[in-house]
Structure 1
Amino acid sequence: MTDGAEQDARAAARETAEPSQGAGARADGRLAGHGVLGPARGGIRTGQRGLGLTGGAIAALAVAAIVAVVRIATRSSIQPAISGFFGVAVCVVIAMLVGGNGKGYFLYGIVMQAVFAVAFAVSLLVRRPLVGVLWHLFSERKQDADGAAPDAGAAAGQHDWRADRRQYRAFAWLTVLWFVMFVVRFGVQYYLYVGDNVGGLGVARILMGWPMFAVGVLITFLVARRLTHAHGE
């Protein structure tokens, strides 16, 4: 008799609790449906995203500032540190303007890849390969800084390198190399940006940043140096 009474009491308690829980769940659903809880939850998620972006921005700017201080203390040029500081600041501002999400931080870099690709393509169309123009410009400035007077052959090579078919063709292909590099960077990162793949954007920025740039510079230096030396001889 006692066991039966206890079972009846437990069953009655469950029947009393279940309607209350169901009513609470239905009430929560009605509130969400009427837009009461939805904005609150969205605000929490937005706040978390903004906090993450703000924290990352502060960390990046702090590192840039530390680098600048170290360069000042070692009496080194602070121009790279200043450029990096403003580069990070621009990326952060753009990220805030496009919604405060993490992927917005990469938008400036993606756009710049497209700008560089267009610049190199236009230089080919106007028959002034940008790699050749920059190479000879820096060569002239280096000679001026060293105070060395170039011989007649070298001076002629500086001013009419486009008349040399071999040089022109080589610098044109080097310009195509850089054009392809910028197009690949833009295509991959834009695809990841549209797909909201922030982690992939970070990896792509690292792998396609300095490593790819260093390879391009090395190839350009070896080919251009060999060309100009051969022309001078």
Structure 2
Amino acid sequence: MDGTLQRLGGPLGLACAAAPTIAFVIIEAVAGLTPALIGLTVTAMTACAIRLARRESPGAAVAGLVVAAVCAGVAAVTGEARDFFLPAMVVPVLFVLAYSGSLLARRPLMGLIVNPLSGGPRRWHTHRGLRRLYTASTLVGLGLAGLTLSARILLYLADQPAALAVVQVVSTTSFAVHFALTLVLARRSAGAPVQAITAT
């Protein structure tokens, strides 16, 4: 489990991902929007540099910087701190749609994402153990995404940027743990005796 989490950056990687959001909310509460945007920029650039220094994926490191810039841009244009979290609301919406669509198509999304990394068989959907695991994991992911989306909408309407920050950090961490746990279980299941299923 620890090794799998390290693939996602480990505790330091998760902290780097959360740092810009936390810095923005704290500074905005103390000093206002403009200083918060400056603090966000500095923190995001520092986090990107740390991730690159740790030889993490350059694409992931730069993507974090771009996401922070987009969120900051929205808040700067509207002049409201809560709008910093508007772009991030798209993520759980996309996940809800993707999870739901994959279940309807009988190709659970977590199987499509995790199986290539776990070394499982190409026809994982005919492997009874893996099919059950990925279906259950996809249902859990759907539940997490739905809860996250509901919480974000309610807190946005209530104008609670600090609470939105907490939800964003918790949802990022829960996704990482969910992914890591699914990967560990998939590796174990892929090594178990195969019980083929006829439904495809």
Asked if Structure 1 and Structure 2 have the same fold, meaning a TM-score greater than 0.5 normalized by the shorter chain, the answer is: yes
Larger Rg: 1
Cα offset for 1:101? 0.2
CA-CA distance at 1:216 after TM superposition = 1.1
Deviations 1:177-209 (A, max 9, x none): 111111111111111001112222122223333
Structure 2, unmatched stretches of 5+, are: 1-27, 196-200
The structure 1 segments of at least 4 consecutive aligned residues displaced by more than 4 Å after TM superposition are none
> Cα offset for 1:232?
6.6
Look up the equivalent residue of 2:76 and give its one-letter code: M
Task: Count matched residues.
Answer: 166
Q: Secondary structure at the match of 1:62?
A: helix
Name the CA distance, whole Å, in 2 between partners of 1:137 and 1:100.
43
**Equivalent of 2:138, from 160, 171, 175?**
175
Highest RCO, 1 vs 2 (Cα 8 Å, sep ≥ 6): 2
How large is the RMSD of aligned CA atoms in angstroms?
A: 2.6
- Scaled by the length of structure 2, what TM-score is found? 0.72
Q: 1:120 aligns with which of 99, 116, 119?
A: 99
Show the counterpart of 1:220. Answer: 182
CA displacement 1:195-230 (0-9 Å, x = unmatched): 1122221222233332x2233124312321221111
1:5-20 to structure 2, matched below 5 A, reads: none
Match of 1:207 in 2: 170
Structure 2 distance, partners of 1:88, 1:134, is 25
Alignment deviations for residues 115-162 of structure 1 (CA, whole Å, 9 cap, x no partner): 11111110111111111112222245xxxxxxxxxxxxxxxx622211
Give the TM-score, by structure 1 length: 0.63
8 Å CA contact 1:189, 1:201 repeated in 2: yes
Q: Deviations over 1:77-128 (max 9, x none)?
A: 443331111010011122234x220100011112211111111110111111
> Which 5+ residue runs of structure 1 have no aligned equivalent?
1-47, 141-156
Fraction of identical pairs, as percent = 28
| 1:130–1:52 CA distance, 2 compared to 1 (3 A) | same
